[in-house]
Amino acid sequence: MRICGVELSGNDAVVCLLTVENELFNLPDCRVRRVTCQNPDKANDLKYFQKTFKQLMTDYQIDTVVIKERMKKGKFAGGANGFKLEATLQLMDDINVVLMSSSDQKVHLKHYPLPITFAETGLKKFQETAFMAAF
């Protein structure tokens, strides 16, 4: 199974690829660490962002995209642009997109703890949330 974890931050979708085979995971190299939407207020830019992201998922044969869900209200609420990008990704055809809340992530990590520390993965620090969503 090939999974792409995504954290939406500003106008960027930070990505981390993860493959799972025989209960072992691997972090394949990816040509990009983030996909950027130049201006989420323009429909053409959102379409280009969606097309670029979908092509990346097709190239790496990704089965499922897991997006780290953000709160809609409160102190840690996400911005409007992030929600536009989230909706754009959810509306992609032929790709399974799942939102994962923080509480779901905590439950999952409790049952399946990380076998290594994040520092040992070789990923950049800004990819940690995307990695945790994919794992």
Going along 1-135, which residue ranges are E strands?
2-9, 12-21, 24-26, 34-36, 64-68, 96-100
How far CA 5 is from CA of 41, 43, 44, 63, 73, in Å, comes to 24, 24, 25, 11, 23
User: Which of 12-26, 41-55, 103-117 tops mean pLDDT?
Assistant: 41-55
Per residue in 26-74, pLDDT tens?
Answer: 889 999 999 999 999 999 999 999 999 999 999 999 999 999 988 777 6
Confidence category of residue 80, pLDDT binned at 50, 70, 90: confident
CATH number, residue 46: 3.30.420.10
**Whether the Cβ atoms of residue 37 and residue 45 lie closer than 8 Å to each other:** yes
pLDDT of residue 75: 67
Band of the pLDDT at 25, cuts 50, 70, 90? Answer: confident
Question: How would residue 91 be classed by pLDDT, with cut points 50, 70 and 90?
Answer: very high
Instruction: Write down the pTM of the prediction.
Output: 0.86
pLDDT at 8 over 80: yes
Structural domains counted in the chain: 1
Domain of 9, in residue numbers: 2-134
Q: Over the chain, what is the mean pLDDT?
A: 88
For residue 77, pLDDT over 70 is answered with: no
Higher pLDDT, 15 or 102: 15
d(C-alpha 22, C-alpha 81), whole Å:
38
pLDDT of residue 78: 67
Residues 9-35, mean pLDDT to the nearest whole number: 90
